[in-house]
Amino acid sequence: MKFFLDSAHVQEIEYALKMWNLDGVTTNPRHVQASGKPFLTVIREIGALFAGTDKPISVEVNPHFTDYEKMVAEGEILAAISPNFVIKLPATEAGFKAVAVLKEKGIRSNLTLVFSAAQALQAMRMGAYFISPFIGWKEANGEEVQSFVEEILDIRDNYGFDSEIIVAAVRNGRQIVDAAVAGADIVTAGLAVYKEAFDHPYTGVGLQKFQEFWDQTPYK
Ligand code: E4P
């Protein structure tokens, strides 16, 4: 399973690339705002980090757009900035249509804010490259998410669609594992979520014990 970082923080992305063999990045307007930089400045900086790789970076069109034509026009501008950019579009009727138009132009899209398997199915039919079911938001709303992810994967496999499924809005290591057990292609999560997931208190406890034994043992 691929690990994407959900962030627009350049130092975080550099860290995850160096330490974790990061597979890609997803951004959204919240992350861009948190970066403290203008939208175009920060996405150009992220694009430069991945120059010469085939790792995808999802960048989101203006969320105020309700016409697919505007989404397509901005998608074309963004895609021209970096070949790594995948255009993030909302799972709305206009967003689905924009997926199909951008695909005809050879531009990849990531359908975001996906909360139902029916939305995912329509995104697949229209040719989405990535589909991002937001499991953290659904779970916070008291909804069951494992069968939601499984249904999306079953639909994809039943019809041989080639969209890759990014399990998104991931909050902890359990959700990463659940996504992997379901067979999701990708998870995207923040730096702190991965750091916590890669750690276990017993590893530290055990390491300390082994250090004590090591110190009591001659090397030769
Ligand atoms: C995914 O592509 C989204 O950017 C992300 O997972 C949104 O969720 P969050 O901001 O609540 O984590």
Report the CATH number that the domain containing residue 8 is assigned in CATH: 3.20.20.70
Residue nearest (by alpha carbon) to ligand 1 atom 12: 169
Q: What is the 3-state secondary structure (H, E, C) of the chain?
A: CEEEEECCCHHHHHHHHHHHCCCEEECCHHHHHHHCCCHHHHHHHHHHHCCCCCCCEEEECCCCCCCHHHHHHHHHHHHHHCCCEEEEEECCHHHHHHHHHHHHCCCCEEEEEECCHHHHHHHHHHCCCEEEEEHHHHHHCCCCCHHHHHHHHHHHHHHCCCCEEEEEEECCHHHHHHHHHHCCCEEEECHHHHHHHCCCHHHHHHHHHHHHHHHCCCCC
CB distance 115 to 134 below 8 Å: yes
pLDDT reported for residue 61: 98
Residues of the chain with pLDDT under 50: none
**pLDDT score of 182:** 98
Residue 88 known to be catalytic: yes
User: What is the model's pLDDT at position 210?
Assistant: 98
Note whether residue 156 is domain-resident: yes
Is 19 among the domain residues? Answer: yes
- Among protein residues, the one whose CA lies closest to atom 10 of ligand 1: 169
Ligand 1 close to Cβ of residue 168 (< 6 A): yes
In a domain, 130, yes or no: yes
Q: Does the beta carbon of 175 lie inside 6 Å of ligand 1?
A: no
Identify whether 71 is part of a domain. Answer: yes
pLDDT attached to residue 123: 98
Residue ID of nearest Cα to ligand 1 atom 6: 169
Phi, psi of 47 (to 5 degrees): -55, -40
Q: What is the pLDDT of residue 126?
A: 98
* Tens digit of each residue's pLDDT (9 = 90 or more) over 171-213: 999 999 999 999 999 999 999 999 999 999 999 999 999 999 9
Structural domain harbouring 16: 2-215
Ligand 1 pocket, residue 26 CB under 6 Å: yes
Model pTM score: 0.96
Does residue 220 form part of some domain? no
Residue 136 Cα: closest atom of ligand 1: 11
Q: What is the pLDDT of residue 115?
A: 98
Q: Give the active site residue among 70, 88, 105, 209.
A: 88
Which one of 28, 111, 131 would you pick to mutate in the ligand 1 pocket, going by the greatest count of ligand atoms within 8 A of its CB?
28
In this prediction, residue 92 carries a pLDDT of 98
Number of compact structural domains in the chain = 1
Can you give the pLDDT at residue 29?
98
112 lines ligand 1 (CB under 6 A): yes
pLDDT at residue number 30: 98
